[in-house]
């Protein structure tokens, strides 16, 4: 399709008629500044071909010029298949008219919907639904026409893709193929969801799913039927078992009854023998008791008589011993009294020993006090002398005023600051030096030292000052020297401040000279050291005591001396010998000890013997009392034993009779026991056991019978339901459903396989078809961008998806490339597709404001491609940068503004 001209009216910015054309069949550059209506014209072209004229709604309302109720109208003159047409389409006041040029005039070809349809068929457009056409309705224009900012080719609609494929000569699509593929898809979707799962849902379930559900239900029923059948069979066995049990129990009970009868007879005999034996044993026990009673009495009488004789003999012995023990007690008392008297006599020496010990102690005290007093006198004297020396040193130190270390450091710092300030002041001052040839009087008007000075000839005279030095030299004039303002004043202030600080710090010491101050500090340090040494010596004599304490101690020692001498006045004349006095006291004391210790031992021995014999006497007296009591008791017991009035001989005869009776009773009991032993276990217990067994067995038989009756009832109930027949029906239902499911599964699988194979083949064919497009696009891309991006790969609907740079080692998605590369790839793909479509007829290609990211070098190569493409295609480029295309010598440049003026003029 070739565009001849386009005219719009009532369309956005074009309220009035606006015609552009005629266009060249090759390359056209339609240019205008921004917002002049280039894209609007392009839109009118698209809507004219793709939208139905009856379309309404907000989208089409927006086409009207602002504030105007004009119906948007477009008139397109174009050629297709060698015939020229004119399409007139008006929206919102619907009109569609397709005319064909015959000779020099247009003849109506179709109107209304038919016109819409015929125009759409030229670009293989699908009719839009409700509302304006979208990209997918553009047909081949999707490839051929790129609106502003939409150069990217996102994948063609099926119509457009089919058009490309058809042009490539591939028989992928045909009405028959499409119908069949559609039918296959339909058959697939009747069974499966698009995701490949069997279709479920109450009304639209796939037969397989429905059958599976029915089969699940039927299987459940089958399991129930099997259960019931098993229940029936189990019930049958239970009843059989219970009947067998009941029968067995009845037989067992009969057997038990017989055994019980025989055992009861034995039990009767056994009971009689047991009673007889018990009577015999009772008699035996009685005879034994009589024998034992007589035997005990005889033995007790004999024992009592023997004990009584022994006790009486012991009592006589005690009575003989008692007077001897009393005599011994009296002797021991006398010996103890004599030993005590000896001790009392010896203790009378004790006061003399005490006197001697006191005298020796006083002598020791006196000697010690005298020594202490002498020592204290020496220490007091040394302390007094040292204190006098220390006082003299302190006085001398107090007279020396010297700075301490911190003060000295501060003074040094102040001196340094002052000196630094002086240096800076000197450096900042203007210096004027005069060396007069003759004597000269100079008045310093401004300078460090103002005033008049007379200078001798040949002698240099310097005047410093800041910021100027002014000198008046009579008969010569005023001499003024200036320097930089301000620097001297600051230095001076710093110097004065430093001097003042130094004066303040050194004021207590009377000098500002560092050496003098350091000498003072040295002297003070020496004195401090002497004082320290003197104090150390004093501390040595005092030994952590003060002088007053020492004096107190001296007084106490003298007091002690006086007290001793007062008690022993003889010692004033001659001092005692403490050691001799102590030895004399000790000797006297030792003599006393040597005498009193044996005396005390003897007394203790006598005293112990006295205690022992006293105890012996008391024990003998107590024993005699006890023996007398035992005699009384034994006498009573013997009288009681003999109270039966029998003689010993009579008692012996009674004992013999009892022994004979016991032996007779024992023999009878043994004989009866032998008879009982022949029975083995006690048959009476066996009877009880058998009775319990019989009762249990009868109960078991009854229970089994009752249970069997109950189970039979259950069995009848189950069998009445015909569980096997129900099982048969359920199994047949399951088999039928399984058969159906197998058939439907086979069909479903077959449809699935069919669809998969068709899709696989289709993809393979599409890939083969897409190869030439990719190849052509790759060739063009390499011309624009070189070989670095490699080949372009296109998808099933011909959209570029990847490039394959050799260096990347694998394909790279288009999205990962730069903006310029992306638009170049989409452009070359569009051109490649357009080339395919242009095989039979020249087509219009429109690019609205493209290549905004492409650099100048590549743009030049792209333009070359466009020029070449224009040999096969009609190319229309809409741009606001016509200068970028000026290199295209074959292009027709159309100025939109001129067109507007021309239209208005027309």
Partner 1 sequence: MRFLHTADWQIGMKAAHAGQAAAQVREERLASARRVVEAAREASAEFIVVAGDTFEDNGVERVLIQRVADILASFGGPVYIIPGNHDPFVPGSVWEHPAWKAAANVHVLVSEEPVEVPGGLLFPCPLREVHADRDPTAWVRVAGQTGIKIGLAHGSVEGIVLEEPDYPIPRDAAERAGLDYVALGHWHSTGTYPDGDGAVRLAYSGTHEQTKFGERDSGNALVVDISGPGAPPDVRPVRVGRLNWLIEEAELREAGDLVRLRSQVEAIPEPAATLVEVRLRGVLSADDEPELRHLEDILAARFLLGRLDASALVPSPADDVWLASLPAGVIRLAAERLRDMAQSAGPKAIPAPEVISRALLELYALSKEAAR
Residues in contact with partner 1 by CB under 8 A are 170-174, 176-177, 179-184, 187, 229, 232-233, 235-237, 239-240, 243, 711-712, 715-716, 718-728, 731-732, 734-736, 739, 746-747, 749-751, 753-754, 757-758, 760-762, 765
Concatenate the DSSP letters of all residues of 247-286 into one string.
HHHHHHHHHHHHHHHHHHHHHHHHHHHHHHHHHHHHHHHH
Question: Closest CB to partner 1 among 47 and 165?
Answer: 165
The C-alpha angle with vertex 453 and arms to 447 and 458, in degrees rounded to 5, equals: 105
Round the CA-based radius of gyration of the chain to a whole number and report it. Answer: 76
3-state SS string for 844-872: EEEEECCCCCCCHHHHHHHHHHHHHHCCC
Q: Are 792 and 812 in contact (CB under 8 A)?
A: no
Torsion of CA 737, 739, 740, 743, to 10 degrees: 150
Helices (H) and strands (E) in the chain, counts: 20, 20
Helix, strand, or coil here: 52? Answer: coil
Give alpha helix (H) positions in 1-37: none
Cβ at position 706, least distance to partner 1 in Å: 15
Give dist(CA 243, CA 129) in Å, integer.
Answer: 84
Cβ at position 776, least distance to partner 1 in Å: 23
Q: Integer distance in angstroms from the first to the last C-alpha of the chain?
A: 27
Q: Are 80 and 841 in contact (CB under 8 A)?
A: yes
Give dist(CA 113, CA 121) in Å, integer.
Answer: 12
Question: Closest CB to partner 1 among 244 and 536?
Answer: 244
Chain position carrying tokens 């697939």: 188
Nearest to 160 by CA among 50, 52, 78: 50
Largest CA distance in the chain: 196
The C-alpha angle with vertex 594 and arms to 591 and 596, in degrees rounded to 5, equals: 105
CA distances from residue 677 to 680, 686, 688, 689 in whole angstroms, order as listed: 6, 15, 20, 20
| Dihedral sign (CA 113, 74, 138, 775) | positive
Give dist(CA 160, CA 141) in Å, integer.
Answer: 8
Structure tokens at 232: 């029936």
Nearest to 83 by CA among 57, 54, 103, 64: 103
Q: Which residues contact 187 (CB under 8 A, 6 or more apart)?
A: 751
Structure tokens at 710: 């109950």
3-state SS string for 785-851: HCCCCCEEEECCCCCEEEEECCCCCCCEEHHHCCHHHHHHHHHHHHHHHHHHHCCCCCCEEEEECCC
Helix, strand, or coil here: 885? Answer: helix
How many Cβ atoms are within 10 Å of 191's Cβ, its own excluded? 21
Give dist(CA 246, CA 712) in Å, integer.
Answer: 14
- The alpha carbon of residue 793 and the mean position of all alpha carbons in its chain are separated, in whole angstroms, by 50
Give dist(CA 674, CA 556) in Å, integer.
Answer: 121
Q: Are 674 and 222 in contact (CB under 8 A)?
A: no
Q: Are 826 and 789 in contact (CB under 8 A)?
A: no
């Amino acid at each position: 399709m070739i565009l001849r001209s386009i005219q719009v009216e009532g369309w956005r910015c074009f309220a009035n008629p606006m015609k552009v054309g005629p266009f060249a069949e090759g390359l056209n550059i339609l240019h205008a500044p921004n917002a002049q209506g280039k894209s609007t014209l392009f839109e009118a072209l698209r809507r004219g071909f793709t939208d139905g004229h009856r379309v309404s709604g907000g989208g089409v309302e927006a086409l009207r010029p602002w504030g105007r109720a004009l119906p948007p109208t477009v008139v397109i003159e174009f050629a297709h298949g060698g015939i020229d047409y004119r399409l007139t389409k008006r929206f919102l006041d619907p009109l569609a008219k397709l005319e064909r040029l015959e000779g020099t005039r247009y003849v109506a070809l179709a109107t209304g919907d038919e016109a819409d349809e015929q125009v759409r068929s030229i670009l293989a457009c699908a009719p839009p639904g409700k509302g304006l056409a979208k990209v997918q309705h553009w047909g081949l224009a999707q490839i051929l026409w790129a609106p502003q900012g939409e150069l990217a080719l996102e994948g063609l609609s099926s119509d457009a893709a089919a058009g490309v494929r058809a042009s490539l000569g591939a028989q992928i699509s045909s009405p028959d193929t499409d119908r069949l593929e559609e039918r296959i898809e339909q058959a697939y979707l009747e069974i499966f969801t698009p995701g490949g799962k069997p279709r479920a849902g109450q009304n639209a379930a796939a037969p397989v799913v429905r059958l599976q559900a029915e089969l699940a239900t039927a299987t459940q029923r089958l399991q129930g039927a099997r259960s019931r059948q098993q229940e029936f069979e189990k019930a049958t066995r239970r009843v059989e078992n219970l009947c067998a049990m009941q029968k067995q129990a009845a037989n067992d009970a009969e057997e038990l009854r017989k055994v019980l009868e025989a055992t009861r007879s034995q039990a009767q005999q056994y009971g009689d023998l047991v009673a007889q034996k018990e009577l015999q044993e009772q008699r035996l026990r009685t005879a034994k008791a009589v024998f034992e009673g007589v035997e005990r009495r005889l033995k007790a009488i004999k024992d009592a008589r023997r004990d009584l004789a022994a006790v009486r003999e012991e009592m006589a012995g005690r009575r003989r011993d008692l007077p001897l023990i009393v005599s011994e007690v009296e002797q021991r008392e006398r010996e103890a009294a004599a030993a005590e008297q000896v001790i009392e006599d010896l203790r009378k020496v004790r006061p003399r020993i005490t006197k001697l010990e006191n005298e020796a102690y006083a002598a020791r005290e006196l000697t010690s006090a005298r020594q202490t007093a002498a020592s204290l006198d020496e220490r007091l004297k040394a302390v007094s002398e040292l204190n006098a020396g220390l006082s003299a040193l302190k006085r001398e130190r107090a007279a020396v005023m010297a700075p301490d270390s911190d003060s000295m450091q501060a003074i040094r710092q102040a001196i340094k600051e002052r000196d630094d300030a002086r240096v800076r002041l000197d450096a900042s001052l203007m210096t004027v030096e005069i060396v007069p040839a003759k004597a000269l009087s100079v008045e310093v008007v401004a300078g460090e030292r103002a005033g008049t000075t007379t200078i001798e000839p040949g002698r240099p005279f310097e005047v410093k000052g800041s910021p100027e030095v002014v000198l008046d030299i009579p008969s010569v004039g005023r001499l003024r020297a200036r320097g930089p303002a301000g620097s001297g004043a600051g230095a001076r202030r710093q110097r004065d401040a430093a001097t003042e600080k130094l004066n303040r710090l050194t004021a207590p010491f009377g000098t500002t000279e560092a050496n003098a101050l350091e000498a003072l500090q040295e002297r003070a340090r020496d004195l401090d050291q002497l004082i320290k040494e003197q104090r150390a010596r004093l501390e040595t004599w005092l030994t952590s005591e003060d002088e007053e304490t020492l004096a107190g101690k001296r007084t106490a020692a003298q007091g002690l001396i006086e007290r001793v001498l007062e008690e022993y006045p003889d010692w004033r004349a001659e001092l005692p010998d403490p050691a001799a006095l102590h030895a004399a006291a000790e000797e006297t004391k030792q003599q006393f000890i040597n005498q009193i210790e044996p005396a005390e031992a003897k007394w203790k021995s006598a005293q112990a013997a006295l205690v022992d014999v006293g105890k012996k006497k008391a024990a003998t007296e107590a024993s005699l009392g006890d023996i007398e009591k035992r005699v009384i008791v034994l006498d009573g017991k013997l009288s009681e034993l003999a109270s039966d009035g029998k003689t010993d001989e009579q008692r012996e005869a009674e004992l013999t009779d009892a022994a004979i009776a016991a032996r007779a009773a024992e023999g009878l009991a043994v004989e009866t026991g032998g008879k009982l032993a022949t029975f083995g276990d006690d048959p009476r217990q066996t009877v009880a056991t058998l009775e319990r067994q019989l009762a249990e067995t009868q109960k078991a038989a009854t229970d089994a019978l009752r249970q069997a009756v109950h189970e039979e009832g259950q069995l009848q109930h189950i069998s009445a339901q015909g569980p096997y027949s129900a099982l048969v029906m359920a199994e047949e239902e399951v088999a039928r459903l399984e058969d159906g499911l197998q058939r439907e599964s086979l069909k479903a699988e077959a449809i699935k396989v069919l669809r998969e194979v068709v899709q696989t083949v289709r993809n393979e064919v599409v890939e083969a078809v897409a190869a030439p497009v990719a190849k052509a696009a790759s060739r063009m891309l390499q011309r624009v961008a070189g070989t670095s991006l490699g080949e372009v790969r296109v998808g099933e609907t011909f959209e570029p998806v990847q490039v394959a740079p050799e260096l990347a080692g694998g394909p790279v998605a288009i999205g990962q490339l730069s903006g310029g590369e992306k638009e170049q790839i989409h452009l070359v793909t569009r051109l490649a597709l357009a080339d395919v479509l242009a095989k039979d007829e020249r087509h219009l290609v429109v690019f609205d404001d493209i290549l905004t990211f492409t650099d100048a070098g590549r743009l030049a190569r792209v333009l070359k491609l466009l020029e070449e493409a224009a040999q096969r295609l009609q190319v229309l480029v809409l741009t606001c940068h016509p200068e970028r295309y000026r290199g295209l010598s074959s292009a027709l440049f159309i100025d939109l503004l001129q067109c507007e003026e021309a239209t208005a003029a027309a």
